[in-house]
Amino acid sequence: MIKFIFFFSTLLNFNDGYVCTCWPVEIQEGIEKADVIFIGKVLKIDSVNIIPEIIMRSNGGAIDSGGYTWGYLVTLKLKKHFKGEYQSDTVNIMTGSGMGDCGYDFRIKNDYLVYADKQQYQIIDSINETTWKFKYHMKEYFSTNDCDRTTYNIKSEEKILKDALRKKGVQKKQ
């Protein structure tokens, strides 16, 4: 009986949390979707307020009040690159907060193999909490989440990536 109560309460508690839902991305799809693929070490993680794309679309892009959410702007030191062009030896990646939005859980000083694509973000600079009017600016960032192939398991993913890139290169030459 105690086991049944524990199991039932565990199920109830699990449903209270936020869950990210996505399908695993095959390696070729991950390579094609990503604008950049690289290995980097996390230097800094900043929390930012952003206006989600769904709100931007529903209001025709003219947003100065309404909903917003928060995410993380992660700065990584570029260690090795596989795809894309880079302007410096650091790369900024935007990801969600991880509360149902599938944000990737980066940790300071850890290395990651990152698959990221470019996206426009409306970054909130200030919020008037009386009128809920926003001051914001648009900026393009690389973006990743749990649904991409981004991982801390670098050795196995790098082997899969190199094999896929080599096969892709062989197919192009034929």
> pLDDT tens across 59-83, in order?
455 455 556 678 899 999 999 999 9
Quote the number of domains for the chain.
Answer: 1
The Cα 124–Cα 131 span in angstroms is 15
Domain annotation covers residue 66: yes
Domain annotation covers residue 11: no
pTM, rounded to two decimals? 0.77
Q: Which two tokens stand for residue 41?
A: 């070490």
For 153-165, write each residue's pLDDT tens digit. Answer: 999 999 999 999 9
pLDDT greater at residue 171 or residue 132: 132
Domain annotation covers residue 132: yes
Q: What is the CATH number of the domain that holds 168?
A: 2.40.50.120
| 51 band by pLDDT with thresholds 50, 70 and 90 | confident
Domain annotation covers residue 14: no
Query: What is the domain extent for residue 29?
Result: 19-173
Q: Return the pLDDT at 130.
A: 81
Domain annotation covers residue 9: no
Domain annotation covers residue 1: no
